[in-house]
Structure 1
Amino acid sequence: MSPKTFKGVPTQKFGGFHDTESRILFKQELIPLKFEILRERFFSINKWKEYSGEAFAAFKLYDFNGHPVDREPQKGDFIRIDIPGPGEPEAKGYDWVEITDICFYQDSFSESISMTCRPSRNPENKKSRHVAHFYSSASSSTFMISRNPAHLKAAVYGRNERPNFNANFFNVIRNLATAAGGMAGAAKIQWKQLTDSFLDLD
């Protein structure tokens, strides 16, 4: 199966990938209102765990300077991820991604918002350029919400997923194990939990 292609989603060139999508149907007159609620959930990164349940990873938004913030995300912000299980020791047990792109598309028929993140350094540690994530910096995750006259969609598209080998021996072992689990489908299960929760709008 080939990866789907969308505006705002990086091209798949190597490694693993996944397309994780959830949809929900609404009456056409309700779509604009429901999409506004979905948009608020989508941009409330600090609440993603609250929406998805205790078993889900915890996400915390940080600004470019490494300070925690509670606002809508911006390009250049960072997200700290607390994944259940062993974390990145150098980053105090957390994995980090940088928001590299936020795209808005709209026409008379549909609307979509996407946010692309890539594994990054820990912005709290100004002295280190080490990528604090189990995937390499070439990997990406694009979070997307969209609407058309019939339904709303929430999705996560993983592209070019490879383990991060730029680490010490024990971190490489951890990265290999976590990345292998992610590419084998464990990550898709977690992302499906998130996309389903985005659309729990009643």
Structure 2
Amino acid sequence: MNLSDDNGNRGPGSDRVPEQTTGAEMNAVEKVTLDTAGAASSFYEVVRARLLDVNRWGEMAKLPMSAFKLFDDAGRAAERPAAQGDFIRIDIPGPGIRTGEGYDWVLIEELAEDREADSEVTTLRVRPSAHPLGAGENTAHFLKDTATSTFQVKRMANEVTAEEHGRNEVANLETGDIIDNIRNAFVGFGAKLGFSYPQWKSLVAGLLDTGNK
């Protein structure tokens, strides 16, 4: 299944989004146009700071559906901007995953910034991971660790965009726990039907809220 906005994954930073090879694909994109490139550059910095403020993602989303909490690479709760190597704990409505102690977990595997003559891009890419303090190594997420979510904020001239690109989304049925496998089958099936699209669409829209600078 390919669920996309028409302008998904093009332009600066597109090479940081993994190739789609299996499972479902998703693209959620929002954009705003400012009066000048200078105004757009200033607003880009605001949106970039919001992207890195993972603990407020649920608050910023226009239609909050999940709660997000940042943890450092040692599994300690973090009250700061996100960094590469951090983990994000996701509280999805409904039954949690036992291998994740009730939560889904992802690792921030890349955090990068690219600048060119008239464009700026910040990329935050996450991948399903094991619980950072768990005893096992099984992926604690409803998707396999082949999946990625790439969040980007971009400025191109006087336009600022916020984007989420999901790639290679396949339900995780190899948790080592039959109840988790059943739960992941249902949640993963819902994601394939596009039920996660409104969440990411509402988040990227919230990142670009010009009324809350």
Q: TM-score range by the shorter chain?
A: over 0.9
How many angstroms does 1:201 deviate by? 2.4
Aligned partners of 2:41 and 2:158 also within 8 Å: no
Query: Residues of 2 paired with 1:192 and 1:53: CA distance?
Result: 9
Query: Residues of 2 paired with 1:38 and 1:53: CA distance?
Result: 15
3-state SS of paired residue (1:7): helix
Match of 2:147 in 1: 139
Match of 2:105 in 1: 96
Match of 1:199 in 2: 208
Query: Residues of 2 paired with 1:42 and 1:201: CA distance?
Result: 14
Query: Residues of 1 paired with 2:131 and 2:210: CA distance?
Result: 34
Aligned partners of 1:24 and 1:199 also within 8 Å: yes
Aligned partners of 1:106 and 1:112 also within 8 Å: yes
> Which digits, 9 at most, give the CA deviation of each residue in 1:17-76, with x for residues without a partner?
101101111111311111111111111000111111573211111111100111121211
Matched, 1:76 2:85: yes
Matched, 1:181 2:190: yes
Match of 1:109 in 2: 118
Query: Residues of 2 paired with 1:53 and 1:149: CA distance?
Result: 26
Structure 2 residue ranges without an equivalent (≥5)? none
Match of 1:43 in 2: 52
Aligned partners of 2:39 and 2:158 also within 8 Å: no
Aligned AA for 1:159? R
Aligned AA for 1:133? H
Query: Residues of 2 paired with 1:89 and 1:139: CA distance?
Result: 20
Aligned AA for 1:59? F
3-state SS of paired residue (1:170): helix
How many residue pairs get aligned? The number is: 201
Match of 2:32 in 1: 24
Q: How much identity, in percent, do the aligned residues show? A: 33
Matched, 1:150 2:164: no
Query: Residues of 2 paired with 1:107 and 1:4: CA distance?
Result: 17
3-state SS of paired residue (2:196): helix
Matched, 1:190 2:199: yes
**Superposed structure 1 runs of 4+ greater than 3 Å apart:** 1-5
TM-score (normalised: structure 2): 0.90
Aligned AA for 2:155? R
How many angstroms does 1:82 deviate by? 0.5
Match of 1:66 in 2: 75
